[in-house]
Amino acid sequence: MSRPIPIVTRALLVANLLVFGLQWLTGPLLELNFALWPPADVQYPHAGHLQVWQPITYAFLHGSPQHLFFNMLALYMFGGDVERLLGVRRYTIYYFACVLGAAAAQLVVMGQMEGPPHATLGASGGVFGLLLAFGMAYPQRRIMLLFPPIPMPAWLFVTLYGLLELTLGVTGTNDGVAHFAHLGGMAAGFVLLTNWGWKLRRR
* pTM (global) more than 0.75: yes
Instruction: At 142, give phi and psi (nearest 5°).
Output: -80, 135
Nearest of 180, 173, 177 to residue 63 by alpha carbon:
177
User: For position 158, what pLDDT does the model report?
Assistant: 82
Structural domain includes residue 2:
no
User: For position 182, what pLDDT does the model report?
Assistant: 85
User: For position 170, what pLDDT does the model report?
Assistant: 59
Structural domain includes residue 202:
no
Nearest of 77, 65, 53 to residue 20 by alpha carbon:
65
Nearest of 18, 193, 184, 41 to residue 108 by alpha carbon:
184
User: For position 197, what pLDDT does the model report?
Assistant: 75
How many angstroms separate the Cα of 105 from the Cα of each of 88, 92, 179, 183, 191? Answer: 26, 20, 10, 8, 14
Nearest of 61, 186, 173 to residue 121 by alpha carbon:
61
User: For position 2, what pLDDT does the model report?
Assistant: 64
Structural domain includes residue 68:
yes
User: CATH code at 37?
Assistant: 1.20.1540.10
Are 145 and 152 in contact by the 8 Å Cβ rule? The answer is yes
Structural domain includes residue 203:
no
Going by pLDDT thresholds of 50, 70 and 90, the confidence category of residue 1 is: very low
User: Which residues are bridge partners to 144 per DSSP?
Assistant: 151
Are 95 and 12 in contact by the 8 Å Cβ rule? The answer is yes
Cα angle 86, 87, 88 (rounded to 5 degrees) comes to: 125
User: For position 44, what pLDDT does the model report?
Assistant: 55
Q: How many domains does the chain have?
A: 1
Domain range for 63: 7-196
Going by pLDDT thresholds of 50, 70 and 90, the confidence category of residue 199 is: low
pLDDT digits (tens, 9 = 90+) for 116-175: 668 889 999 999 999 999 998 888 888 876 666 788 888 888 888 777 766 665 555 555
What is the mean predicted confidence (pLDDT) over 23-47?
Answer: 78
Query: In this predicted structure, which of 41-45, 113-117, 159-163 has the lowest mean pLDDT?
Result: 41-45
Nearest of 141, 139, 143, 162 to residue 151 by alpha carbon:
143
- DSSP annotation of 142 reads E
What is the mean predicted confidence (pLDDT) over 100-119?
Answer: 82
Are 97 and 188 in contact by the 8 Å Cβ rule? The answer is yes
pLDDT digits (tens, 9 = 90+) for 52-97: 999 999 999 998 899 899 899 889 989 999 999 999 999 999 999 9
Structural domain includes residue 166:
yes
Are 12 and 79 in contact by the 8 Å Cβ rule? The answer is yes
Structural domain includes residue 201:
no
Structural domain includes residue 169:
yes
Structural domain includes residue 112:
yes
